[in-house]
């Protein structure tokens, strides 16, 4: 049986969702974040040297990184969630699998870091400087990137329901985390109707809802 080392409020939620879409049996080992730092607990280092989630164990294999886990599970158990090899849809599918972490998440992570910097405990005399720096970086660097990125995603969903094409695929599972993060901290709302509709449709999928029941409360509090 596949074991998912599941950190609360993290990327591992989409691995649970994929497993539900595939109809596979799996067990969950749960980990709570440190209440002050919101970092993963040290126990995860016993599973993988980097101490991050998601990690799955399947027999003798221990696999980390969301994209690698998704590719492994789809290749082994769920070819219906990937477009046919050599098709234009397969190229889009591969692109979005890599885009999610390679391009979509970095500005969202920067947004989170500078939001926290503005409210972090520090000497009173340093607080105004830190807040000005955080606000300036967000306004000049981070927010313009996020606007451009969300506009791009909105345009990519014109004329098709899902990221790889007409059919739902594991690329949509992979893209769920950055889009949910954008809704939580980057202003994504119904003003981008195609992307917003996509988000509502993935949340309505029975497998997504089952994954929430298995994984527990899910709020994007940190990385």
- Tens of pLDDT, residue by residue over 44-69, are 999 999 988 999 999 999 999 999 99
**Do both 53 and 114 map to the same domain?**
no
pLDDT in the model for residue 123: 61
- Work out how many domains the chain is built from and give that number: 2
Residues 105 and 167 in one domain: yes
* Residues 12 and 115 occupy one common structural domain: no
Residue 199 belongs to some domain of the structure: yes
Percent of the chain with pLDDT over 90: 65
For residues 9 and 58, membership in a common domain is answered with: yes
The answer to the question of residue 222 being in a domain is: no
Strands 55-58 and 26-31: unpaired
Residue 222 pLDDT? 39
104-159 pLDDT, tens per residue?
999 898 877 767 656 666 565 556 655 676 666 667 778 888 999 999 999 999 98
39 confidence band (pLDDT: 50, 70, 90): confident
User: Do residues 141 and 180 share a domain?
Assistant: yes
Asked whether residue 17 is domain-assigned, the answer is yes
Per the domain annotation, does 223 fall within a domain?
no
Mean pLDDT, rounded, for 82-99 = 97
134 shares a domain with 187:
yes
Of residues 171 and 41, the one with the higher pLDDT is: 171
Let me know whether 162 and 76 are in one domain: no
What letters, b where the CB count within 10 A reaches 16 and e where it falls short, cover 66-78?
Answer: bbebbbebbeebb
Give burial (CB, 10 Å; 0-12/13-18/19+) of 169.
buried
Which structural domain range is residue 74 located in? 2-82+211-215
Q: How far apart are CA 173 and CA 218, in angstroms?
A: 15
Computed over every residue of the chain, the mean pLDDT equals: 89
Number of H helices, E strands in the chain: 9, 4
């Amino acid at each position: 049986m596949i074991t998912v080392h599941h950190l609360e409020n993290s990327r591992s939620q989409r691995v649970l969702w994929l497993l539900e879409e595939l109809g596979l049996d799996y067990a969950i080992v749960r980990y709570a974040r440190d209440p002050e730092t919101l970092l993963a607990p040290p126990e995860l280092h016993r599973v993988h040297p980097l101490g991050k989630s998601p990690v799955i164990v399947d027999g003798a294999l221990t696999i980390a990184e969301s994209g690698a886990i998704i590719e492994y599970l789809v290749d082994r158990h769920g070819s219906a969630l990937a477009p046919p090899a050599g098709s234009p849809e397969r190229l889009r599918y591969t692109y979005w699998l890599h885009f999610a972490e390679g391009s979509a998440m970095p500005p969202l992570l920067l947004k989170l870091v500078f939001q926290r910097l503005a409210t972090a405990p520090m000497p009173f005399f340093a607080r105004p400087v830190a807040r000005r720096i955080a606000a300036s970086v967000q306004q000049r660097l981070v927010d313009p990137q996020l606007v451009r990125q969300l506009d791009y995603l909105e345009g990519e969903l014109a004329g098709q329901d899902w990221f790889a094409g007409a059919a739902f695929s594991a690329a949509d599972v992979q893209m769920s985390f950055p889009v949910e993060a954008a809704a939580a901290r980057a202003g994504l709302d119904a003003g981008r109707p195609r992307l917003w509709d996509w988000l509502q449709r993935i949340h309505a999928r029975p497998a997504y809802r089952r994954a929430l029941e298995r994984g527990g409360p899910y709020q994007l509090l940190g990385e």
